[in-house]
Amino acid sequence: MSSLSATEATPLLIFDGDCAFCTRCVRFIERRIRRHPRIQSWQRSDLADLGLTQEQCETAVQLIEDGRTTSAHVAIARLLIYGKWGWAVLGYLLLVPGVKQIAGVVYRWVAKNRDRMPGGTAECALPQSERTER
């Protein structure tokens, strides 16, 4: 479990570690974006300490920065801003009104269909309570 509290200054991205597509995306972030927040699966986190619920974490990624939590496409945009240069430009672009709304629609569609995305598996579509033990 995580010992990081939601009020600490170290930025933390929480993702669904049981989803193959989500894990693949995290590996991409770790390889391609040199500067990024700490990344941890919600299954290995003390959600209550972070001020999060399982439902929030099953629905979207969560980014905790300076005690403030953002989720879904906003969390992804904020994460990209840490990357500097081109990644940061993309992150800021995703926060521009209009683009932000489109990014939200795209994020929700991808999240709903993550089992069909590259690297996704049928289990990615299931809620945590229905996933098989590994």
Q: What is the pLDDT along the chain (134 residues), one digit of tens a residue?
A: 544 554 456 899 999 998 889 999 999 999 999 899 999 999 999 999 999 999 999 999 999 999 999 999 999 999 999 998 899 999 999 999 999 999 999 999 999 888 887 776 666 665 656 544 44
Domain range summary for the chain, segments of one domain joined by +? 12-125
Confidence (pLDDT) at 121 = 67
Q: Do residues 77 and 88 lie in contact, with contact meaning Cβ atoms separated by under 8 Å?
A: no
Confidence (pLDDT) at 133 = 45
Confidence (pLDDT) at 134 = 40
Confidence (pLDDT) at 27 = 94
DSSP state for residue 94 in the 8-state scheme? T
Q: Of how many residues is the chain composed?
A: 134
**Residues near 80 by beta carbon (within 8 Å), at least 6 away in sequence:** 33, 87, 88, 90, 91, 94
Q: Which of 31, 35, 43 minimizes the C-alpha distance to 10? A: 35
Confidence (pLDDT) at 130 = 57
